[in-house]
Amino acid sequence: MAHIPLSTFGSSPFEQVMGHAPHVLAHWSKLEEAFFQSTTFGAEFLEQIRRALAYDNQCFYCMAKAGPPESNPTDKRLAAALKFANQFAIDHKLIEEADIARLKDCFSVAEISELISFCSFISASQRFGAVLDL
Protein backbone atom coordinates (compact mmCIF):
# COMPACT_ATOMS: atom_id res chain seq x y z
CA MET A 1 0.00 0.00 0.00
CA ALA A 2 1.24 3.46 -0.86
CA HIS A 3 2.47 5.78 1.88
CA ILE A 4 -0.34 8.20 1.04
CA PRO A 5 -3.94 7.32 0.19
CA LEU A 6 -5.01 7.03 -3.43
CA SER A 7 -6.98 9.93 -4.87
CA THR A 8 -10.07 9.63 -7.04
CA PHE A 9 -8.13 10.92 -10.08
CA GLY A 10 -6.42 8.48 -12.39
CA SER A 11 -6.85 4.89 -13.48
CA SER A 12 -3.69 3.31 -12.05
CA PRO A 13 -2.21 3.45 -8.55
CA PHE A 14 0.57 5.70 -9.88
CA GLU A 15 -1.95 8.12 -11.38
CA GLN A 16 -4.11 8.00 -8.27
CA VAL A 17 -1.21 8.94 -6.01
CA MET A 18 -0.13 11.75 -8.34
CA GLY A 19 -3.81 12.59 -8.72
CA HIS A 20 -3.67 14.53 -5.47
CA ALA A 21 -2.15 17.19 -7.73
CA PRO A 22 -4.39 16.79 -10.81
CA HIS A 23 -2.82 19.78 -12.58
CA VAL A 24 0.55 18.00 -12.40
CA LEU A 25 -0.90 14.61 -13.37
CA ALA A 26 -2.48 16.09 -16.50
CA HIS A 27 0.82 17.45 -17.79
CA TRP A 28 2.76 14.39 -16.62
CA SER A 29 0.41 12.19 -18.64
CA LYS A 30 0.78 14.42 -21.71
CA LEU A 31 4.54 14.16 -21.54
CA GLU A 32 4.33 10.37 -21.25
CA GLU A 33 2.04 10.31 -24.29
CA ALA A 34 4.51 12.47 -26.21
CA PHE A 35 7.26 9.88 -25.67
CA PHE A 36 5.15 6.86 -26.55
CA GLN A 37 3.55 8.53 -29.58
CA SER A 38 6.88 9.73 -30.94
CA THR A 39 8.11 8.05 -34.10
CA THR A 40 11.73 8.30 -32.97
CA PHE A 41 11.68 5.03 -31.04
CA GLY A 42 9.12 2.23 -31.12
CA ALA A 43 6.97 1.35 -28.15
CA GLU A 44 8.80 -1.96 -27.55
CA PHE A 45 12.19 -0.19 -27.64
CA LEU A 46 10.98 2.31 -25.02
CA GLU A 47 9.46 -0.47 -22.94
CA GLN A 48 12.84 -2.20 -22.79
CA ILE A 49 14.43 1.04 -21.56
CA ARG A 50 11.63 1.50 -19.00
CA ARG A 51 12.23 -2.04 -17.70
CA ALA A 52 15.98 -1.51 -17.38
CA LEU A 53 15.47 1.73 -15.50
CA ALA A 54 12.91 0.08 -13.19
CA TYR A 55 15.43 -2.43 -11.93
CA ASP A 56 18.19 0.12 -11.45
CA ASN A 57 15.82 2.64 -9.83
CA GLN A 58 14.35 -0.10 -7.62
CA CYS A 59 10.75 0.74 -8.53
CA PHE A 60 8.94 -2.44 -7.48
CA TYR A 61 5.69 -1.24 -9.05
CA CYS A 62 7.42 -0.88 -12.44
CA MET A 63 9.40 -4.09 -12.04
CA ALA A 64 6.20 -6.02 -11.42
CA LYS A 65 4.52 -4.61 -14.54
CA ALA A 66 6.58 -6.54 -17.07
CA GLY A 67 9.76 -8.03 -15.64
CA PRO A 68 13.37 -7.33 -16.60
CA PRO A 69 14.56 -6.07 -19.99
CA GLU A 70 16.09 -8.32 -22.61
CA SER A 71 19.38 -9.62 -21.26
CA ASN A 72 21.19 -10.03 -24.59
CA PRO A 73 19.53 -7.88 -27.24
CA THR A 74 20.71 -8.51 -30.77
CA ASP A 75 19.77 -5.01 -31.93
CA LYS A 76 22.87 -2.79 -31.65
CA ARG A 77 20.83 0.33 -30.94
CA LEU A 78 18.81 -1.32 -28.19
CA ALA A 79 21.96 -2.75 -26.62
CA ALA A 80 23.59 0.70 -26.58
CA ALA A 81 20.45 2.34 -25.19
CA LEU A 82 20.09 -0.27 -22.44
CA LYS A 83 23.73 0.12 -21.45
CA PHE A 84 23.27 3.87 -21.27
CA ALA A 85 20.01 3.56 -19.31
CA ASN A 86 21.77 1.38 -16.74
CA GLN A 87 24.56 3.94 -16.37
CA PHE A 88 22.02 6.75 -16.16
CA ALA A 89 20.00 5.10 -13.39
CA ILE A 90 22.95 3.88 -11.36
CA ASP A 91 24.76 7.23 -11.26
CA HIS A 92 24.12 9.82 -13.94
CA LYS A 93 27.01 11.90 -12.56
CA LEU A 94 29.47 9.30 -13.83
CA ILE A 95 28.39 9.62 -17.46
CA GLU A 96 31.28 11.07 -19.44
CA GLU A 97 31.85 12.42 -22.90
CA ALA A 98 33.03 8.96 -24.01
CA ASP A 99 29.65 7.48 -23.04
CA ILE A 100 27.86 10.07 -25.18
CA ALA A 101 30.34 9.41 -27.99
CA ARG A 102 29.33 5.72 -27.88
CA LEU A 103 25.70 6.77 -28.26
CA LYS A 104 26.68 8.85 -31.30
CA ASP A 105 27.84 5.62 -32.96
CA CYS A 106 24.22 4.43 -32.98
CA PHE A 107 22.00 7.50 -32.70
CA SER A 108 21.60 10.96 -34.17
CA VAL A 109 21.93 13.98 -31.89
CA ALA A 110 18.14 14.37 -31.90
CA GLU A 111 17.72 10.72 -30.93
CA ILE A 112 20.25 11.09 -28.11
CA SER A 113 18.36 14.09 -26.80
CA GLU A 114 15.07 12.19 -26.84
CA LEU A 115 16.63 9.07 -25.30
CA ILE A 116 18.11 11.04 -22.39
CA SER A 117 14.84 12.95 -21.97
CA PHE A 118 12.99 9.64 -21.80
CA CYS A 119 15.45 8.20 -19.27
CA SER A 120 15.03 11.34 -17.16
CA PHE A 121 11.22 11.24 -17.30
CA ILE A 122 10.96 7.52 -16.57
CA SER A 123 13.48 7.75 -13.73
CA ALA A 124 11.51 10.61 -12.19
CA SER A 125 8.30 8.57 -12.48
CA GLN A 126 9.91 5.50 -10.97
CA ARG A 127 11.47 7.40 -8.12
CA PHE A 128 8.14 9.06 -7.39
CA GLY A 129 6.55 5.61 -7.18
CA ALA A 130 9.41 4.15 -5.13
CA VAL A 131 9.38 6.98 -2.60
CA LEU A 132 5.64 6.54 -2.10
CA ASP A 133 5.97 2.73 -1.92
CA LEU A 134 3.79 1.80 -4.86
Asked if residue 67 belongs to a domain, the reply is yes
What is residue 19's predicted lDDT score, i.e. its pLDDT? 97
H/E stretch holding 70 reads none
Asked if residue 96 belongs to a domain, the reply is yes
What is residue 66's predicted lDDT score, i.e. its pLDDT? 82
56-81, pLDDT tens digit by residue?
A: 888 888 898 888 998 899 999 999 99
Asked if residue 8 belongs to a domain, the reply is no
Asked if residue 39 belongs to a domain, the reply is yes
What is residue 70's predicted lDDT score, i.e. its pLDDT? 87
What is residue 61's predicted lDDT score, i.e. its pLDDT? 86
Are 103 and 119 in contact by the 8 Å Cβ rule? The answer is no
Asked if residue 116 belongs to a domain, the reply is yes
CATH code: domain of residue 73: 1.20.1290.10
58: left (phi over 0), alpha (psi -120 to 50) or beta: left
Asked if residue 4 belongs to a domain, the reply is no
Name the 3-class secondary structure at 108.
coil
What is residue 134's predicted lDDT score, i.e. its pLDDT? 85
Q: What is the pTM of this model?
A: 0.93
Instruction: Give per-10-residue mean pLDDT for the chain (134 aa).
Output: 92 95 97 96 96 92 88 95 96 95 98 98 94 90
DSSP characters over 91-111: HGGG--HHHHHHHHTTS-HHH
Domain count along the chain: 1
Asked if residue 56 belongs to a domain, the reply is yes
